[in-house]
Amino acid sequence: MKKIDEAAAFLTAHVNLFRCPVCLAPYDHVDGHSLVCPNGHNVDLSKKGTLYFMQRAVDSEYDNDMLAARRRMLQAGLFAGITEEFAAQMPASPQTILDVGCGEGTPLADVLQRRDNRDTAIGFDLSKPGINLATQLGGPAFFCVADLAQMPFSDGAFTTVLDLFSPSAYKEFNRVIAPGGRLLKVIPNSDYLIELRQAIFPAGSAHATYDNGNVLGLFKQHYPEATAQRIRYQVPVPADLFADLMLMTPMHWGADEAQLAQVKANPFAHITVDVTLLSTQVN
């Protein structure tokens, strides 16, 4: 079956998860390869089996090379400790999952595989190249291009929302999470990719350290009862993936080219993943 037909079958089975970004009415049927709302607004599936909900084009700094490098690092296990904990935090029963800012899709695919692909899942991102890459994974998740600030999903549609390093729109999160559902958000700690940060930026520079206090404080402001769990581990970096490690993170955007060349010439064997998993139940 072609990807566009597989996607149409998913939409037919799960049309209730989506709402029209134009009139905000829930979509009520699929016509061929189009999702249609009661007021006649429609959005068409691409040949890759994705939906594009954006009202205007948005440029993303994550280009194809950066996304491909990120995929190679993630498939080598960079985020394995995170996706393992995501999967463990969910109830054993099948979940309806929304992955916010899913990028090229590997973390969501890994979570679903850890849970024996028994969940219904949608991933979305602003990056069209990222979503196009995500469709190549071949798993059960559905992917679309959409805006975090105006998500094209129905009220109370999801039992679990995942947010891995993405911005947050807490009002929208509260709207789309079902009563009693969970929000799982991962934020970087000061030692996240610390070896790379220290190699790229001199001590005392603006980028030499990172503090997640503002992000953590805002989350706690919205969800005072949330729990916080630190996840810290090291991952081997094969020599042939070191250039991908440097390219996959926005860290290199603020770096001097000469310093990047020096770092690349002196690779290190391990990298530290240091994050906090924030978890809360939404009533």
Cα(5)–Cα(2) distance, rounded to whole angstroms? 5
* Mean pLDDT confidence for 128-148: 95
User: What band does 57 get if pLDDT is binned at 50, 70 and 90?
Assistant: low
Q: Mark 243-267 as b/e (b = at least 16 C-beta within 10 Å).
A: ebbbbbbebbeebeeeebeebeeeb
pLDDT of 93: 96
- Rounded to 5°, angle at Cα 195 from 191 and 198: 90
Q: Is the pLDDT of residue 42 over 80?
A: yes
pLDDT of 253: 78
* Mean pLDDT confidence for 152-159: 98
Residues 186, 82, 124, 91: what is their CA dihedral angle, to the nearest 10 degrees?
-90
Q: Provide the CA 157 distance to its chain's centre, in angstroms.
A: 18
Q: What is the pLDDT of residues 73-99, one digit of tens each?
A: 999 999 999 999 999 999 999 999 999
pLDDT of 55: 78
Q: Is the pLDDT of residue 283 over 90?
A: no
Helical pair 64-75 and 106-114, crossing angle rounded to 10 deg: 30
pLDDT of 59: 67
* Mean pLDDT confidence for 33-58: 92
pLDDT of 62: 76
Q: DSSP labels for 209-227?
A: ----HHHHHHHHHH-TT-E
Q: What is the pLDDT of residues 234-256, one digit of tens each?
A: 999 999 999 999 999 988 877 77
Q: Provide the CA 106 distance to its chain's centre, in angstroms.
A: 9
Q: Is the pLDDT of residue 106 over 80?
A: yes
Cα(2)–Cα(10) distance, rounded to whole angstroms? 13
* Mean pLDDT confidence for 254-269: 87
Pairing of strands 158-164, 96-100: parallel
* Mean pLDDT confidence for 196-221: 89
What are residue 99's DSSP bridge partners? 123, 162
User: What band does 56 get if pLDDT is binned at 50, 70 and 90?
Assistant: confident
Report percent pLDDT > 70 for the chain. Answer: 99
* Ramachandran area for residue 111 (φ above 0: left; ψ -120 to 50: alpha; else beta): alpha
Q: What is the pLDDT of residues 63-79, one digit of tens each?
A: 889 999 999 999 999 99
Cα(257)–Cα(62) distance, rounded to whole angstroms? 18
Q: Is the pLDDT of residue 204 over 80?
A: no
Backbone angles phi, psi at 57, to 5 degrees: -70, 140
